[in-house]
Amino acid sequence: MIPLSILELGRVREGSDRRTALDEARALAQHAEAWGYHRVWVAEHHNLPSVTTAATALVIAHIASGTRTIRVGAGGIMLPNHAPYVIAEQFGTLETLFPGRIDLGLGRAPGTDQTTLRALRRAPDNAENFPQDVLELQAFLAPASPNQRIEAVPGSGTQVPLWILGSSLFGAHLAANLGLPYGFASHFAPQALHQALAVYRERFKPSAQLDRPYVMIGVNVIAAESDEEAQFLATSQQMSFTDIFRGARGLTQPPIADIETYWTPQEKAQASQMLACSVIGSPKTVRRGLEDLVARTGADELMIVSEVFDPYKRLRSFELLAQAMAAPATTA
């Protein structure tokens, strides 16, 4: 079975609160560990009322402290928002506390708007330094040399595995050149997926961390007892993406019976384009859809995104997915 992982944003539901969202993220990781998921990652986003993972390293610690074996990491840290030295200290601390379980995915985008970027005291052109910052971070996580004057403590020698994340050819080129695993954000920006994967695989250079290309792709998955129920649950995410185009910054909303009453034809087209990499339905439908996606992309791992309003239904979605993918293949 292809490894399944989870991308967590700690989403706040209407009628709920931020502490509950963070605790639900940890509870999901605990269940995911029992269901055989490989990793749980959290993403850095700022100034979004529905997302509680801005202090990414702290959320990782919250999740890791409630689990025992599942890998926990960042998917990702938006490196232009931070000094590489500070990230080396933070993730070196996490690796020291939870040895052998921490991943560090790195993105080049700010993960927020330009006004919030100014509040972070970061210049918009910091992204231009991303390749150099990755190398600097990698050096701080490597064993310290005898004459090294600046050492990340803890951090040096932990060699936390780095990933390059992206939704364009830039990240594919960088991951290939550095010999790092590559995660593509096809769960919200699928347009360049196949081209980026081809570039990464063709140009990959083996490194001390990785001897051959390794690709993880993001995919929106909602599983339920029937196709109809899953499509109903999926309307919460469809409304969230519609609200992006409206400039609305609300909480996750309960599903609705007729999504066509919520979005305009233009909003539907925009949201559907962003959500094109989605598999929604019964366990049988989901398995068939994911097997087709893996066959088309050659993905080595799937990072599952599942925005479901009801916390029980969300847990059930991940449980059904794990069961469906673990079941033996049947022959007609």
Higher pLDDT, 121 or 171: 171
First vs last Cα of the chain: how many Å apart? Answer: 20
> Average of pLDDT values for 140-147?
94
With bands split at pLDDT 50, 70 and 90, how would you rate the model's confidence at 125?
confident
pLDDT value for 111: 62
- Res 162 pLDDT > 80: yes
Give a yes or no: residue 331 inside a domain: no
Model confidence pLDDT, tens digit, residues 200-237:
999 999 999 999 999 999 999 999 999 999 999 999 99
pLDDT value for 332: 41
With bands split at pLDDT 50, 70 and 90, how would you rate the model's confidence at 327?
confident
pLDDT value for 1: 84
Contacts by 189-194, CB closer than 8 A, 24 or more apart: 189/274, 190/274, 190/276, 190/277, 191/273, 192/167, 192/168, 193/217, 193/277, 193/297, 194/296, 194/297
Residues linked to residue 223 through DSSP beta bridges, in sequence order: 281
With bands split at pLDDT 50, 70 and 90, how would you rate the model's confidence at 164?
very high
For residue 99, the enclosing domain spans 4-326
CATH number of the domain within which 81 lies: 3.20.20.30
8 close to 40: Cβ distance less than 8 angstroms: yes
For residue 305, which phi and psi values (nearest 5 degrees)?
-115, 130
- DSSP classification of residue 171: H
126 close to 59: Cβ distance less than 8 angstroms: no
Model confidence pLDDT, tens digit, residues 196-208:
999 999 999 999 9
Count of structural domains, the chain = 1
- Separation between Cα atoms, residue 154 and residue 175, nearest integer Å: 25
Low-confidence winner among 1-5, 118-122, 182-186, 320-324 (lowest mean pLDDT): 118-122
Q: What's the sign of the alpha-carbon dihedral 303, 305, 311, 313? A: negative
With bands split at pLDDT 50, 70 and 90, how would you rate the model's confidence at 331?
very low
- Separation between Cα atoms, residue 243 and residue 235, nearest integer Å: 12
Model confidence pLDDT, tens digit, residues 36-45:
999 999 999 9
Report field, pTM of the whole predicted structure over 0.75: yes
- Res 123 pLDDT > 90: no
Model confidence pLDDT, tens digit, residues 255-290:
999 999 999 999 999 999 999 999 999 999 999 999
Model confidence pLDDT, tens digit, residues 54-107:
999 999 999 999 999 999 999 999 999 999 999 999 999 999 999 999 999 999
Give a yes or no: residue 332 inside a domain: no
Burial readout 218-254 (b: 16 or more C-beta within 10 A, e: otherwise): bbbbbbbeeeebbbbbbbbbbbbbbbeeeeeeebbbe
